[in-house]
Amino acid sequence: MLKTIVAAERACSLCGSSFNTRRIRTPEEPQHFAWGYHEDERFVNAWSDLDPRPNLSTWIERIGVQCPTAETGCYYILRQYHPQNQDPDPDDCWIIFLDFEEEQVPTVGHRFNIHRDIKKRPGKIGIWVEDLEHIASPGCRTNGGYCGYRITEKEMRGCQRVQTLLPKTHSYQKSPDDFEFEVNSKFFLSGLYDGLLNKTRLRLSVLGRRRDMVYEIGQPAFPFHPWCFGVYTQLSQRYLGYVEVDALCSFFEHIRSYNREFFYFLCPAISRSRDFQWIHHPGDEWLAANPYYVPKLRDLMNMAMDPSAASNLQSAALRPQMYISPTATSHFATTNPFAKLPPEINYMILDYLGEFDILDMRLVSRVFYQLPNRVWLRMIREKMPWLWEIQNEDPPYFWATMTASDIRHRRVDPGKMEQHLARWTMPKVCYETMNWFKLYVGITKHWGELKGLQNRRRIWNYQEKRLVQLEYHMSDIASDSMSTESD
């Protein structure tokens, strides 16, 4: 059964995820490491603790039940204080009652424990839910934001950034920072905007400046995360040989004419998170991870290229398996038919096997235990087509490394663009010396730590399905063009 897509949440056109993901900071982190649904909401407040279960009908049943301090260690901090009437309405859903000494006035920064009972009682004070910031503990289980213990602020960098493609007008002028696809197409990239609330407010969402101009998103523009467009440029170059922009824009104008299975059949993590507002399920933090920021991958690549660290493992992976004659080990040769074959034949067999079959062969036959380095490279390319660091030397997509705040405060000097991108660029791969076995094992073993790669794989798979429909659309455009010429 298809999940109903709630119109209030505006999803990224290139990945299906939300722009409105929130982060709950840890006690050790500064205040700006937390954020709400949009730029003006500077932290995750107590309203985020609503229990999402639909069978709870009243707000008093739903608020404050997900992260009691006694069970999780989470607590509230008073970020601002708006005094209430002497006798606040106990049924006001914007006020909760917390333990506090009577006739005292709380100050900003005061810590309140979270309890299930937030009704008005003696020894409690009424506080606006928007004045209280939720502070995470390792056991945080609220779905109002992603826990800072499970994903860092740097990993989430750019999760609320919005960008789009805009049609060129007669006043358009080429800019030094234009990409090649901008020069050769009818569209160009907008600047960035921090956050996009919903479809209702879409027309009021003003994008960040670029070319000293300000633009508004209007239909049929399609907003996307900058990092998702970066993934698209890699995918388009891989399959089409160039970055297709014009057909992409017209595809979204005519999207209802094509199969939208990629839109409806999303990965389970996206499906369970979509609602009127984004539901931040614990364990799904990787959905908000920047696919270009993967520091652990840099470490794994450096280790796989380090001769001293590779030593025995490198030589074992690179050393051709010696031919084992039947007379040398008769029992082994009798029970293992592959031992009777020359290594060249065995390696030819591997060329016809997929990843899991090869791994199974390593388990059942010692002949295949030590594989040539090229076999591991092939398995990485087949299993991880989204690992473009081993496919080309393209620099990271610039806008995926920036935020609107960076641009506003000019944190990147235009003259130091290359230095900025160098910090985001992975080590250059040397195919001859890279221990592909070690890289394969490293990525597989540490997959849970590679949140950026997890999200990159999801975005890549989503866009691969959409690219099939885009190619149909390109074919339709070509057919229409030929029909027009013949007329």
pLDDT digits (tens, 9 = 90+) for 128-163: 888 999 999 999 999 999 999 999 999 998 898 888
- Whether 293 has a pLDDT exceeding 50, the answer reads yes
For tokens 């879409």, name the residue: 202
Bridge partners (DSSP) listed for residue 206:
216
Looking at the domain assignment, is residue 5 inside a domain?
A: no
Q: Quote the domain boundaries for residue 371.
A: 295-453
Among 24-38, 281-295, 327-341, 406-420, which stretch is predicted with the lowest mean pLDDT? 327-341
Q: Do 358 and 368 contact (CB within 8 A), yes or no?
A: yes
Average pLDDT, the chain: 80
Among 50-64, 65-79, 255-269, 310-324, which stretch is predicted with the lowest mean pLDDT? 310-324
Looking at the domain assignment, is residue 421 inside a domain?
A: yes
- The end-to-end CA distance of the chain, in Å, is 46
- Whether 89 has a pLDDT exceeding 90, the answer reads no
Looking at the domain assignment, is residue 353 inside a domain?
A: yes
Q: Are residues 404 and 354 in the same domain?
A: yes
Q: The tokens of 323 are what?
A: 């031919």
Q: Are residues 55 and 132 in the same domain?
A: yes
pLDDT at site 320: 42
Name the DSSP letter for residue 219.
T
pLDDT at site 421: 83
Identify the band that residue 448 occupies on the pLDDT scale cut at 50, 70 and 90. very high
pLDDT at site 257: 86
Summarised one tens digit per residue, pLDDT across range 176-189 is: 888 999 999 999 99
pLDDT at site 384: 95
Q: Are residues 208 and 238 in the same domain?
A: yes
Spatial distance between the Cα atoms of 401 and 227, rounded to a whole number of angstroms = 8
Name which of 245, 225, 86 is nearest 181 in CA terms. 245
- Whether 30 has a pLDDT exceeding 90, the answer reads yes
pLDDT at site 216: 54
Q: Are residues 473 and 447 in the same domain?
A: no
Q: Are residues 315 and 418 in the same domain?
A: yes
Whole-prediction pTM: 0.84
Name which of 345, 354, 344, 442 is nearest 390 in CA terms. 442
- Whether 7 has a pLDDT exceeding 60, the answer reads no
Q: Are residues 303 and 448 in the same domain?
A: yes
Compute the radius of gyration of the chain from its Cα atoms.
27
Q: Are residues 445 and 466 in the same domain?
A: no
Looking at the domain assignment, is residue 90 inside a domain?
A: yes
Q: What is the mean pLDDT of residues 16-35?
A: 94
Q: What is the mean pLDDT of residues 32-61?
A: 69
pLDDT at site 311: 47
Identify the band that residue 203 occupies on the pLDDT scale cut at 50, 70 and 90. very low
Q: Are residues 259 and 345 in the same domain?
A: no
pLDDT at site 336: 73
Identify the band that residue 192 occupies on the pLDDT scale cut at 50, 70 and 90. confident
Q: How many helices (H) and strands (E) does the chain have?
A: 17, 11
Summarised one tens digit per residue, pLDDT across range 249-262 is: 999 888 888 887 77
pLDDT at site 486: 62
Q: Do 160 and 150 contact (CB within 8 A), yes or no?
A: no
Identify the band that residue 21 occupies on the pLDDT scale cut at 50, 70 and 90. very high
Spatial distance between the Cα atoms of 310 and 226, rounded to a whole number of angstroms = 36
pLDDT at site 42: 87
CB neighbours of residue 94 within 10 Å = 15
Q: What is the mean pLDDT of residues 242-246?
A: 96
Q: Are residues 310 and 408 in the same domain?
A: yes
478 or 58: which leads in pLDDT:
478
Looking at the domain assignment, is residue 11 inside a domain?
A: no
- Whether 371 has a pLDDT exceeding 50, the answer reads yes
Q: What is the mean pLDDT of residues 342-349?
A: 77
pLDDT at site 286: 98
180 or 213: which leads in pLDDT:
180
Q: Cis ω on the peptide bond leading into residue 220 (within 30° of 0)?
A: yes
Q: Is 245 exposed, middle or buried (0-12, 13-18, 19+ CB in 10 A)?
A: buried
Q: What is the mean pLDDT of residues 276-299?
A: 94
Q: Are residues 62 and 100 in the same domain?
A: yes
Q: Are residues 332 and 284 in the same domain?
A: no
Highest mean pLDDT among 26-30, 54-58, 164-168: 26-30
pLDDT at site 184: 92
Q: The tokens of 244 are what?
A: 């297709």
112 or 325: which leads in pLDDT:
112
CB neighbours of residue 409 within 10 Å = 9
Q: Which amino acid is at 165?
A: L
Looking at the domain assignment, is residue 179 inside a domain?
A: yes
- Whether 243 has a pLDDT exceeding 80, the answer reads yes
Summarised one tens digit per residue, pLDDT across range 391-424 is: 888 889 988 988 766 766 666 666 677 778 888 8
CA dihedral 401, 154, 20, 12 (to 10 degrees): 40
86 or 275: which leads in pLDDT:
275
Into how many domains does the chain fold? 3
Q: Do 375 and 367 contact (CB within 8 A), yes or no?
A: no
Q: Are residues 382 and 260 in the same domain?
A: no
Identify the band that residue 175 occupies on the pLDDT scale cut at 50, 70 and 90. confident
Looking at the domain assignment, is residue 468 inside a domain?
A: yes
Last residue of a domain, one of 100, 122, 151: 151
Spatial distance between the Cα atoms of 118 and 62, rounded to a whole number of angstroms = 10
Looking at the domain assignment, is residue 482 inside a domain?
A: yes
